[in-house]
Amino acid sequence: MRAQTLLCREVNQFDLVGYLKNLGYHPAKIINNDYWYLSPLRDEKTASFKVNRKINVWYDHGIGKGGNLIDFGKLYYNCSVKDFLARFRSENTMSLSFHPQCFEPAGEKKNSLINPGKLMF
């Protein structure tokens, strides 16, 4: 059980926006840290599925549910936490990333931030 708890923490650190992109979903609009999608959990015509990238959580206004990556995976695949973790581990996790961090190189202009790339597991 302890290993599963540790794995849950690691999985929930993966970027939800990146995970959705790997599933083929792209935001309909982006407002600050909020990424709005047509819900991957149901059919809809107006984007009401929101991911707050800063805190890495989602909320589907149409069904009134939200949470972290594991909560999403359980609903998306209609499975248990254990089954989702097994599925997640078997997926190509090299294409998944943590929320990208930007670093300002010493002595560089503020607007020339670099993205160090994806952190891989």
**Greater pLDDT, 54 or 104:** 54
Q: What is the pLDDT of residue 100?
A: 45
Q: What is the pLDDT of residue 98?
A: 46
Tokens of 12: 């929930």
Query: Is the pTM higher than 0.75?
Result: no
Per residue in 45-87, pLDDT (tens digit) is 999 999 999 999 999 999 999 999 999 999 999 999 999 999 9
- The strand pair at 34-37 and 57-60 is best described as unpaired
8 and 70 Cβ atoms separated by less than 8 Å: yes
For the chain, domain boundaries: 2-91
Per residue in 1-14, pLDDT (tens digit) is 555 666 899 999 99
The hierarchical CATH code for the domain 2-91 is 3.90.580.10
Q: What is the pLDDT of residue 3?
A: 59
By residue count, the chain amounts to: 121
